Structure 1
Amino acid sequence: MKMNPVYKRETTVSARSFRLALILMLFNGVLALVVMLNMYSVLERVKLTAEIQYSSFTNLYVFVAVVEFVMLMFIMPALTSGSISGERERQTLDLLLTTVMKPWEIIWGKLTSSFATMFLLILSSFPLLAVSFVYGGVMYYDVFLLLLCYLAVALLCGSMGICFSSLFKRSTIATVVSYGVLIIIAAGTYAVNVFALSIARMNMTNTYALSASGMADQANTGGFLYLLLINPVATFYVMISRQTGDNNQVLKSLTNVFGPHPESFVLDNWVVLSILIQLLLAAVFLFAAIKAISPGKGIRKIK
């Protein structure tokens, strides 16, 4: 099978650099230190109280998962937002377009090379996640779902960065816009739901003349809740809440924040549907990036 030349070149340069080895050592070193301190605190507690709190190991799993998720969400745009605009700044993009490679192959090679670097960091930390398997509480299905969530957020953030890198001529502008859109998706959808919930509570309180702790507690955000399906933070929160709680934790986690909502197919399958929607949104960003660098028929580049 023919390997993508862009992917081959980018991964070769990254694998030969000392920076990648240093990042791997520092990242896993910090996580290993946290794991060892957690284990030490559990052992000391056993010596003092003769009781083992198994929830500490579940908390360790949550901590490592959260660190990796945050790393994926905030580093992937930085890795990809300068991929195409950087080639344009070095005046090598036109040379790439004159080769037999198609625009989608260039985009895909840039994206997969950045994703491979991040996936190496995630995969190298899985032995630390496996510590919680010794004491139970986390199933293999949970790890598989966690990997799917990582895949969705990495592709979404990476495709977002490479899309704006194709649209803008400057890497700095592409990076700023990528993080701006990411903040809108993550914090903006949450803010819309918070605002909708406050309006619903205010209207219900005025209607029934009850205190905020009465009928107003039954208010919810309504259809605005489904905006969170494109929010990777909300998806990760729901997934972790379910893995560390009971099977109905998805509905409970959303109800505690955004008011009670009736059960539905979307809420019952929130994580899977949200991952599919995020992958679809990533495909839209990639399509826009391909169109932007296609000679003669691309989207007009922004200075």
Structure 2
Amino acid sequence: MNVTEGYRRDVSYGLINITSENTTITSGFHYPIPQGMDKAINGITIVILFITMISLGCTMEITKIKAHILQPKGVVIALVAQFGIMPLTAFCLAKVFQLEPIEAVTVLICGCCPGGNLSNIFTLALQGDMNLSILMTTCSTVVALGAMPLLLYLYCQGFSGLENAVPYAGIIIALILTLVPCAIGIAINHWASRYSQMIVKVGLSILLIASVAIAVMTSITLGGMLWLVLSPQLLAVASLMPLIGYLFGYILSTLFRMASECKRTIAVETGCQNIQLCSTILKVAFPLEVIGPLFLFPLIYIIFQALEALLFIVVFRCYQRRKPPTEGK
């Protein structure tokens, strides 16, 4: 038995016992990270999520939100795409590549996450509907409070040993940590809008610095273990999930005859998952002995998510430049 097989079997056993019997069972996997540094990473992860959602809230305007609420066609289509296409894609890929239970639940959590705020940046680059993008990110986060536990419960029934493995408490806590700061940001933009731009700039700067800090601390402590996550199966899943989301999101919005900018927006919103939320859930919901290096899966996912989005942006910009001047106007 090689190291990877032993790790998978031990971790899967630990997951099933912890979730079904509510007892603390340690596996053969030992997490080589100091307790102080682990607390620092947890704290920074939560701070990043909090600051990012405040900054996101500061970019939203109540009047524009009302306009989309009164004509909710785009939001409804995007919600159906987000919570219909991505969870089903994660489930099918986990089945096709025969992932281990802990790997399957990691992928399912990623697939059931709401839209991420990285999609707002991609939407801007693709000249999409920014109001729809920001509203969709917020709405999907709110809907995720009920949809995410429900979808995880339903899809986990298809895996032996995962019927009771959904970390509901951890998911709800992590989702609340995103909704509260977003509401704070909306309130700031509504009643003290003169501070909104400054908060967004400061928030993005702190986000960048904190992300670098987490990357450095993680690489120092887990650099030698990253190969455990870089299996061919997980790499294939991480590369195919966002691509399928982008394509099917665009196809679905095309079937409902949405405007071109809305098609691009819904496509991006479908394929872009809230990876920060996924990482937070994995860190909060599972003991270190259980999740092991798999909490790095969202990092691999976001790399493919960004690379594929950048490819679409390059293709779109090239297409825009080659359009006739009259059509461009």
Question: Do they superpose with TM above 0.5?
Answer: no
Report 1 or 2 for greater relative contact order, CA contacts < 8 Å, sequence distance ≥ 6: 2
TM-score by length of 1: 0.39
TM-score by length of 2: 0.36
Which has more radius of gyration? Answer: 1
